[in-house]
Amino acid sequence: MNNDNNSPLLLEKFLPYRLSYLSNIVGRRLATIYSEKFGIAPPEWKVLAHLNRFPDISAAEVADKTALDKVAVSRAVNSLLDKGLVERSYAREDRRRSILNLSDKGRETYNQIEPLVRDYESVLLNALDDEEKQDLDRLITKLTGRAEDSSSD
């Protein structure tokens, strides 16, 4: 990381680039895990995982929790509905607000994918000792908070 504004920008030292690069590598590997066997695209996996964790939420709430844009979430939800992995109902108090949940098939699919992605996470984290894992978690949390705070500027 280079904080000297007078020197040229070196992408390989530029934190946003490095985070994006790492995220792309990890994301591609994860996508291979769930797309080949289950036909699930990355945004669909994120929706499935969030509906598993937070049932009875709207597509807008999924977008907020995943940091995906609403169009990507809408496409993912429609695809998951078509695949029978998600069910949609409507709120009694506001028929315009849809409520999303995993279907039985969606829960079963999620339960098959989860151990596979956890195994990949373990492979990655095995590069770190326990203290480094704690440091990484703390630092990611801190940077995420800063990025969220600065996005409202």
The domain that contains 40 carries what CATH number?
1.10.10.10
105 contacts: CB under 8 Å, gap ≥ 6: 83, 84, 85
Question: Is residue 6 assigned to a domain?
Answer: no
Question: Is residue 30 assigned to a domain?
Answer: yes
Question: Is residue 122 assigned to a domain?
Answer: yes
Question: Is residue 1 assigned to a domain?
Answer: no
98 contacts: CB under 8 Å, gap ≥ 6: 58, 59, 88, 89, 90, 91
Orientation angle between helical segments 42-53 and 70-82, nearest 10 degrees:
80
Give the pLDDT score at 97. Answer: 81
Give the pLDDT score at 2. Answer: 56
Give the pLDDT score at 4. Answer: 64
Strand locations in the chain (E)? 86-90, 98-102
Give the pLDDT score at 63. Answer: 94
Give the pLDDT score at 14. Answer: 96
What's the CA gap between 104 and 51, in Å, rounded?
A: 12
76 contacts: CB under 8 Å, gap ≥ 6: 41, 43, 44, 46, 47, 68
Given a cut of 50, the residues of the chain with pLDDT beneath it are none
pTM for this model (two decimals): 0.85
Question: Is residue 3 assigned to a domain?
Answer: no
Query: Under DSSP, is residue 10 helix (H, G, I), strand (E, B) or coil?
Result: coil
What's the CA gap between 134 and 144, in Å, rounded?
A: 15
Question: Is residue 85 assigned to a domain?
Answer: yes
Question: Is residue 2 assigned to a domain?
Answer: no
Cα 105 versus chain centre, distance? 21
Domain containing 37: what range? Answer: 11-151
Question: Is residue 116 assigned to a domain?
Answer: yes
Domain count, the chain: 1
